[in-house]
């Protein structure tokens, strides 16, 4: 079994994908818009002009897959109750990625050493997605 996160950006999936490509080296494996679907959505499901918005996208981040969508394209994305955890090899790499990932976001736990990690930081990126970066002991 494999569990893969599916994040809904309510109209900003392409922007998020570009950000994650630049910051994390993400690779877009698949991208489909609502306009690509063989059947139109039920009336009222999407705002007018949503045909070019992302219905489904798959990003490869290191050895992991993360799915993105614009969802209903009608309200602000709300990411609550989870973090995406990234294990890194060394503190310098963690600091470099954290500095880029937090651009436009905020640090929720400053980077530092603790009893379980050589380096650990928690942050929310500009889209509100929570991240925990760790260099294990």
Which tokens belong to 55? 């219905």
CA dist., res. 92 & res. 53, Å (int): 36
Whether the model clears a pTM of 0.85, i.e. scores above it, the answer is yes
Do the bridges between strand 130-136 and strand 117-124 make them parallel or antiparallel, or are there none, so unpaired? Answer: antiparallel
**What does each of the 137 residues of the chain score in pLDDT, given as a tens digit?**
999 999 999 999 999 999 999 999 999 999 999 999 999 888 888 888 899 999 999 999 999 999 999 987 666 778 999 999 999 999 999 999 999 999 999 999 999 999 999 999 999 999 999 999 999 99
How much is the pLDDT for 111? 98
How much is the pLDDT for 74? 67
Helices (H), 34-109: 91-101
Residue 70: which residues within 8 A CB-CB, separation 6 or more?
Answer: 8, 9, 10, 11, 12, 13, 34, 50, 53, 54, 55
CB 84 within 8 A of CB 66: yes
CB 35 within 8 A of CB 51: yes
How much is the pLDDT for 98? 98
How much is the pLDDT for 45? 84
How much is the pLDDT for 73? 67
Domains of the chain, each with CATH number or no CATH = 6-69 (3.30.720.100), 84-136 (3.30.720.110)
How much is the pLDDT for 120? 98
């Amino acid at each position: 079994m494999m569990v893969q996160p599916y994040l809904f950006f309510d109209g900003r999936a392409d922007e998020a994908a570009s950000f994650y490509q630049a910051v994390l080296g993400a690779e877009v494996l698949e991208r489909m818009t609502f306009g690509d679907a063989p059947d139109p959505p039920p009336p009222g499901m999407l705002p007018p002009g949503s045909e070019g918005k992302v219905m489904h996208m798959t990003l490869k981040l290191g050895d992991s897959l993360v799915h993105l969508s614009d969802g209903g394209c009608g309200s602000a994305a709300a990411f609550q109750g989870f973090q995406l955890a990234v294990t890194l090899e060394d503190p310098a790499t963690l600091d470099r990625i954290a500095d880029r990932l937090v651009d436009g976001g905020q640090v929720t736990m400053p980077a530092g050493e603790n009893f379980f990690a050589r380096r650990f930081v928690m942050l929310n990126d500009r889209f509100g997605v929570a991240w925990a970066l760790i260099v294990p002991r």
